[in-house]
Each structure stands twice: as structure tokens, then as C-alpha cells.
Amino acid sequence: EKEDIYIDYCGMFILVLGLLVGSLMPLGGAASSPDTGTGHGGSHGNKDPGYAKNGNGTTYSKKPFPVLSFDYEHVRLPFEISLWVLLASLMKLGFHLIPRVSSIVPESCLLIVVGLLVGGLIKLVGEDPPVLESKIFFFYLLPPIILDAGYFMPIRQFTENLGTILMFAVVGTLWNSFFVGGLLYGVCQLEGHKLAYVDLLSCLLFGSIISAVDPVAVLAVFEEIHINELLHILVFGESLLNDAVTVVLYHLFEEYSSVGLITVTDVFLGIVCFLVVSLGGIVVGAIYGILAAFTSRFTSHTRVIEPLFVFVYSYMAYLSAEVFHLSGIMALIACGAVMRPYVEANISHKSHTTIKYFLKMWSSVSDTLIFIFLGVSTVAGPHQWNWTFVVATLIFCLVARVLGVVGLTFVINKFRIVKLTSKDQFIIAYGGLRGAIAFSLVYLLNPEHFPMRNMFLTAIITVIFFTVFVQGMTIRPLVDLLAVKKKQETKRSINEEIHTQFLDHLLTGIEDICGHYGHHHWKDKLNRFNKKYVKKCLIAGERSKEPQLIAFYHKMEMKQAIELVESGGGSKLPSALPSTVSMQNIQPKKPSQDRALPQLSKAREEEIRKILRTNLQRTRQRLRSYNRHTLIADPYEDGWNEMLIKRKKMKELEKKMNNYLTVPAPPPDSPTIARARLASDPQAWGLKSVTESIPTIKVDLASPQSPESVNVVDEFSKKGSQPKEEEGGLTMKVPSPAKQRKDKTPDEEPQQRLMRCLSDPGPAAEEEDEDDPFLPQKKSW
């Protein structure tokens, strides 16, 4: 009966499509619409007011023109889907609004309960609750979650622990399957009358299905407990990589359960199949990943569809792998992991944000829907409760997991530098949650071949409930109780990045001196190969040559700049550097250099210096409630008037200065120093925007600056902002002694360099001379 409903749905969908097409054909013939179902013909006729002449067999008697009609049937499917999604999202909202509940009970539990309630409700009404259809699950609900996980996978930790992860995934899952399957068979035989029909292969099949750790459940629970990265990647990596094992075992046992026996050849072929499935999946994923990276190279003119390429290529990788019965999950992970570094170098910042948010959104919705449907399916699904079987399953699963983890860790620790402690082992064992994948796999079983399917279903649901509810709820207090190391929330600092790189090279060098080719040597070789050949192919333009350190630095600057703009311009400090250390503090005092600047009288310089000082101090005090929108500058303060006059003069002169060439300048400073100097010095450059293409974020905060420098700047800009100023953002203005500087250009280079540093990855800035602006502080008095 359930199948009827679904066939009905599909039929209706195609019907609606056909109807739409038919109705659009102008004055089509009699057969313009396909055979309509019973209730649809009339409604169709109602829907086409313009084509009253459409001869499709409806009545010719004239009816009054239907102003309003009710036709639910033809939007039923999308309507229901949307309703479910809406329900899921509202539930998610609701949980987080109730603070106490969400801290005790993990979200997944609550969602299952909701599912149970909804299922119960539907049953009460008399309808049949929908079941989590395996096809929908595997094609629509699972991929977003896996892609989200794969795209944001921390590659470094993953590869460092790859051996351990593989051991757990492959050997652990095999051990679990055979242990559970074998012992269950024993129990079934012992039990006798009710369970005697369960044969060995079915038990093994069941064992293989239930022993796989589920990535969805693991993610759902582990995400909330913020455990340290090592454990997270171990359990999570295991849950992803065991998919290949599960696929092979499932197909193996399913194929041969009808036959009833497995030969050695089959086992051997099974092993070969395992290698093919896993490696094949990875290769397929990698191919699509490279394609996606390559495509992203050309998207500089069509930035809006960049995220689409990421999603579509990944989904295609998944589907392609499924065509050959390879591991779709591994394909998806490989695709995401391979494409990410190249795509991120090519796409714009906005696309990156879009990808991130879309992936998170989809995976969140999927995750929610899966758990709700689990609950609903529990109410709906055909159950066959058998105390012995279910309890035995539960116990064996737990025992197998513990034994497996302990045994494997013993072996693994011989090869690891950072050994896994018993606390770690406990968490790994305890975190082996089962979830919806197992359920769907059982659901796929053919009831004819497997008459005990319903019993399996019941058992699996029980195990899932147990792991998600009991283990999921208690893992958080246990983590606290055992004082397991939690995730460190620190942001990656530039120093750490520098030293990470340094260490990599250092260790590679030491390995070379030692003379053996270890871990670092091969990693270094791979990196060099990557840099030399692959990056050139897959990354557009100049970014292909950008070393990681520089990329990191640009990203950091970008982040800070955006953070500051978003926070309203200064009231909230960028979290990286909260102090007021500025460039003056670290820049060694330069000897006064030979400049082609006119000499100011000492008195003048002293005066200006004093003004700057007082203003700097004042702005520091005003730091608290600064917001560029609310700032009202006090026009009667000392020195402001003077500044104002100078600025006006500067503005006039700026127009004349644009054509001057650069003056021979002292060796160029880094952009950081330049910005620092410019910012902290109110007599910084007044810069006009050179072209429209320069982004409007003219914030001088990409570098870790003292916020006061910003504020100073801003006050000035507020003070002197003239109506013709096009940008309302923070700009740097220059009220410098204009007279003396008549012949000098303020140079657009500093601004351009700023823009370049702040804008999206662009071409490498040319080495330009930067005229050293007037710096009273730096001169030796």
C-alpha cells in the first residue's frame, strides 16, 4: 500500500509536468494533455481560462467563470515536501529557543522524539505515515551531509592519522560484523523455535549492516560536545571510511544469501571488490574534483554561479560512483577534499561564503529530516519484536565495539607517536553511534529473500535508539567527567602559521640529513609537485604562485578588514589583536633619510606633533562608544580648526597633484608599515579613488593596528567630509601642511597597495616606490 502511494506521487508529478506543458501549447489539438486521472481533467480545464477552446474532452456547456477554485492535488507532492522541511526547520528553531533542553539532550534525540510524535499523530488521523524511503535517503538526504563533511575536512589531521583511521574503519568494521553476525547466529540456533529460520548469511548480513558507525549520528552528537580534534577526526574519519567495507559486505552477503553459501573464491573476490570499491570511489571523486577546480579557473566573469559548480560536480561524483556500485561516500569526500584548495584560490570571497552557508544549511536540513523520519518510520514501520534477538543484538554490538577498539588500539599504539590513552579509547568506543544509514540499508532488503526483515528492522531501530539516546545523551557529561581534552578555540595566528611552515621544512631537512625518506620527505615532494604542476593548471592567474603563507596572510587581513567593517567601524576590536601596539612600537628608529621633501621649520613640526599627540590621546579615551554613525566631532577643540584648514587646502592641491610622477623615495616599506604610518598619522594621505573599480572598503584596518588610529582617521573624515565625497566609508584624509607639499605628489600608490591588499585576490602588486609621507614622530628631534 505504501508503494501505491509513492507510485501515485510519481505519477502525479509527471502528470502535473505534462499538464503544464500541455497547457502552454497554444490552442493545441485534442491530445494536448495526456490522459488525465479521474479528478484532474476537470481541474485542468478550470486552470486554463485562456484556452477555453482547448478541445480536451471537457464539457462544452458554459459554466460561470471560476474565480476561485481549490486544487490541492496537483501541488500535493512539493507541498508536502515543503511542509516537512518547514516542520523540520521550525523544530530546530524551537529547540534552540528552549535553552535548558538543548544543553542536556542532543538535538538528534529531540528530533527523533518529534518524529515519533508526528508519526503517532498521522497514525491517529488514520493515514499511513511515510517511511524514510531508501532512495530519497541515499540520493537526497545523505549527500549534503557528506559533502559538508568532506569539503571542510581538516586534511592535515586526517592524513596524519590516516593509518589509525583506516585500521578502525576496515579492520574494526570487519571484526564487528563477524563478531555480531556470528554470535547472533549462535543465539538464533540456541533459541530454537522462533529464530531457527535465520541462517548464517542473513546474520552476517545483519551484522555487517549494524556494525558500521554512522557519520550522520556521529556528526550530530560530536558537534555539540566540542571534543578535541584528534578524537573527532578519528571517530568521524572512521565513520566515513567504513562505508566501503559496508558496501562490499552488504552486496556480498545479499548476493549470496539466496544461494546459501560462500566459497573461498567469493571471499577473495570480495577482497578485490573492496579495493576496487574504495579506490574506485576515491578516483572518481578525485576526477570530478579536478574538473571542478579546473572549471573554477574560468569563472572570474561569472562569479554568481561559482558555488553551483562545486555542488553539481560533487553530486555528479556521488551519482557516478553509485552507478558502478562504488562507494559514493568516499567519492564525495575525495571530490570535496581535492577541489577545495584550488577552488578556494579561484573563487571570490562571497562565493566562498555562499558555499559554506549553503552546505551548512543543506546538511542541517538533511540531518534534521533524517532524524525526524527515523522517528516517523519507527511508528510506521512493520515491526516484529523478538526479545531475545533484540537484546542479544544490543549486547553484542556494544561488546564488539569495546573489544574491537581496545584490541586495535593496542596494535596501533605500537606505531603511533602520540599514543591513544584509555580515555581516548573509551570515547572512541562510546562514540560509535549507529544511525539512519543502517536503517535504510535494512529497508532496502527484499522481504522475499529475507523473511526476517521486519525483525531486523526492529532490532536496528532499537540499537539506533539506544546509541543515539543513551550514548548521545550521556557522552557530554562523561566527557566532562573524564576531563577529556576539548577543542581549542584559538584562532590560527600568523606566528603559528610561520612556524608550521618552518617546522615542515626543518623536519624535511633533518630527515634528508638523516638519510631516510620518511613522512615529511614524501609530503614535501608532494607539495613541490603540487606547486610546480598542479597549481599552475588549476588556479587562475597569479594566485597559482602564491605560497601558503602569503595566502594565509591575505586571508587574515581580509578577515580583519571585514570584521571591522561589519562591526560598525571600530567599536568592536578585531579579536586577533586586542592591544594597542602599533607599528611605531616595533619599527626600529630609522635614520632620517634623504628626502626630496622641503624642510619644515622645527617649530612647525613641533606644533604638529603636539597636535597629533593630543588628538591621539583624546581618541584613545573615546574608544568605548565609538561608532562612525554616531560620532559628533567637536569643532571647538584645539587644533581641529587648523586641521580643517589644512585639509581644505590639501583637497585643492590634490587635484593638481594627480599627474606628478613619484619622487625618489627611501626604500619601500611594507604595506603594513605604510598603513600603520598612514593611519596613526592624521597627516596621512588624502586619497581619492582612482577608478571605480577599486572596492569601496577603504578601511585601513587590514593590518593589526591600534584601533585608535582608525578612530583618529575617522574623526577626521567625519570632520571634513565634504558633500562631494563619494564614499561614506572610512577613508584616510590628509590635512598636511599643504603649502609645502605643492610639488609633491601624495601618490596613489599607497592607496592602491591598500586596495590590493584588501580586495579579492588580484594580480601581484608591482614594486612601487612609496613616498615617505611627512612623519613628525619619526624624525629625530
- Tell me if 767 contacts another protein by CB under 8 A: yes
| Distance, C-alpha 287 to centroid of its chain | 21
Cβ(651)–Cβ(559) under 8 Å?
no
Longest Cα–Cα distance of the chain, Å, equals 109
**Closest separation in Å from C-beta 494 to another protein:** 5
Rounded to whole angstroms, how far apart are CA atoms 343 and 166?
27
Residue 257 sits at the vertex; the CA angle it makes with 169 and 329, to the nearest 5 degrees, is 30
User: Which residue lies nearer to another protein by CB, 356 or 609?
Assistant: 609
Cβ(440)–Cβ(132) under 8 Å?
yes
Which span sits near another protein by CB under 8 A: 210-218, 413-421, 423-431, 740-748?
413-421
Of the candidates 362, 323, 435, the residue with the CA atom closest to the CA atom of residue 147 = 362
Q: In this chain, which of 81, 402, 494, 623 binds another protein, going by CB under 8 A?
A: 494
User: Which residue lies nearer to another protein by CB, 402 or 576?
Assistant: 576
Which span sits near another protein by CB under 8 A: 138-146, 253-261, 400-408, 499-507?
499-507
Q: In this chain, which of 670, 690, 728, 743 binds another protein, going by CB under 8 A?
A: 670
Rounded to whole angstroms, how far apart are CA atoms 672 and 701?
10
- Tell me if 502 contacts another protein by CB under 8 A: yes
Which span sits near another protein by CB under 8 A: 173-181, 543-551, 641-649, 690-698?
543-551
- Tell me if 498 contacts another protein by CB under 8 A: yes
Which span sits near another protein by CB under 8 A: 24-32, 57-65, 367-375, 552-560?
552-560
- Tell me if 500 contacts another protein by CB under 8 A: yes
Rounded to whole angstroms, how far apart are CA atoms 236 and 234?
6
Q: In this chain, which of 46, 189, 364, 501 binds another protein, going by CB under 8 A?
A: 501
Q: In this chain, which of 312, 765, 778, 779 binds another protein, going by CB under 8 A?
A: 765
Pick out residues in 595-634 that bind another protein (CB under 8 A).
616
Number of residues forming the site for another protein (CB under 8 A): 73
**Closest separation in Å from C-beta 298 to another protein:** 22
Cα within 13 Å of Cα(501), Cβ side: 13
Question: DSSP assignment, residue 765?
Answer: P
**Closest separation in Å from C-beta 691 to another protein:** 22
Q: Give rounded-to-5 percent helix, strand, coil for the chain.
A: 65, 0, 35
**Closest separation in Å from C-beta 306 to another protein:** 24
**C-alpha cell of 271?**
577482497
- Tell me if 546 contacts another protein by CB under 8 A: yes
- Tell me if 757 contacts another protein by CB under 8 A: yes
Site string for another protein, 508-527 (x = CB under 8 A): xxxxxxxxxxxxxx--x---
User: Which residue lies nearer to another protein by CB, 194 or 485?
Assistant: 485
Site string for another protein, 712-741 (x = CB under 8 A): ------------------------------
Contacts of 341 (CB under 8 A, 6+ apart): none
Cα→Cα distances 650→379, 664, 689, 709, 742, Å: 77, 21, 15, 20, 9
Q: In this chain, which of 669, 715, 771, 772 binds another protein, going by CB under 8 A?
A: 669
Q: Helices in 172-305 by DSSP H: which ranges?
A: 173-191, 200-210, 215-225, 229-257, 264-296
Q: In this chain, which of 269, 549, 633, 644 binds another protein, going by CB under 8 A?
A: 549
Contacts of 119 (CB under 8 A, 6+ apart): 129, 375, 376, 377, 378, 379, 380
- Tell me if 417 contacts another protein by CB under 8 A: yes
- Tell me if 116 contacts another protein by CB under 8 A: no
User: Which residue lies nearer to another protein by CB, 266 or 563?
Assistant: 563
| Distance, C-alpha 374 to centroid of its chain | 25
User: Which residue lies nearer to another protein by CB, 2 or 589?
Assistant: 589
**Closest separation in Å from C-beta 531 to another protein:** 9
CA-CA-CA-CA dihedral for 97, 103, 104, 105, to nearest 10: 60
Site string for another protein, 350-389 (x = CB under 8 A): ----------------------------------------
User: Which residue lies nearer to another protein by CB, 451 or 547?
Assistant: 547
Rounded to whole angstroms, how far apart are CA atoms 668 and 447?
77
Cβ(173)–Cβ(246) under 8 Å?
yes
Pick out residues in 556-595 that bind another protein (CB under 8 A).
556-557, 576-589
Site string for another protein, 452-491 (x = CB under 8 A): ------------------------------------x-x-
Q: Would you tell me how many other CB atoms lie within 10 Å of the CB of residue 637?
A: 14
User: Which residue lies nearer to another protein by CB, 117 or 673?
Assistant: 673
- Tell me if 346 contacts another protein by CB under 8 A: no
Of the candidates 664, 686, 680, the residue with the CA atom closest to the CA atom of residue 748 = 686
Cβ(80)–Cβ(91) under 8 Å?
no
Pick out residues in 294-313 that bind another protein (CB under 8 A).
none
Amino acid at 154: P
